[in-house]
Structure 1
């Protein structure tokens, strides 16, 4: 799955999609897709990632208390 880093606008290939959808995980491993070679995986704060269209991630992916509100 590809997401976009808000600040830089770079695409990020998510390494572990299961970790992305767990709301208690604040970070997810991914590889920046800039340049000719794929970069080594690094952790990204889920709040700094959006879909390539610019849409934010679903609240149920980032907020463990989303059902309480």
Structure 2
């Protein structure tokens, strides 16, 4: 799955989909999709990512207590 880093606008390929869907995880492993060479995996804060369309990630992926809000 490709997401976009909010600050830079760079695309990030998410390597751990389960962590992305889990509201208990605040970070997710991914790698930038820039340049011709494959980038090294990094840890990204989920709150700093959104969909390439600009839409935010669903609250249930980010906040473990989203139902009580």
Q: Can you give the 5+ residue segments of structure 2 that lack an aligned partner in the other structure?
A: none
Instruction: Write the distance in 2 (CA, Å) between the matches of 1:60 and 1:30.
Output: 20
TM-score normalised according to structure 2 size: 0.98
Computed over aligned residues only, the root mean square deviation of the Cα atoms, in angstroms, reads 0.4
Q: Which has the higher helix share?
A: 2
Q: How far off its partner does 1:37 sit?
A: 1.0
Residue number in structure 2 paired with 1:43? 43
TM-score normalised according to structure 1 size: 0.98
Instruction: Write the distance in 1 (CA, Å) between the matches of 2:37 and 2:57.
Output: 27
**Cα-to-partner distance string for 1:20-68 (whole Å, 9 max, x where unaligned):** 0000100000000010111010000000000000000000000000011
Residue number in structure 2 paired with 1:61? 61
Residue correspondences, number: 69
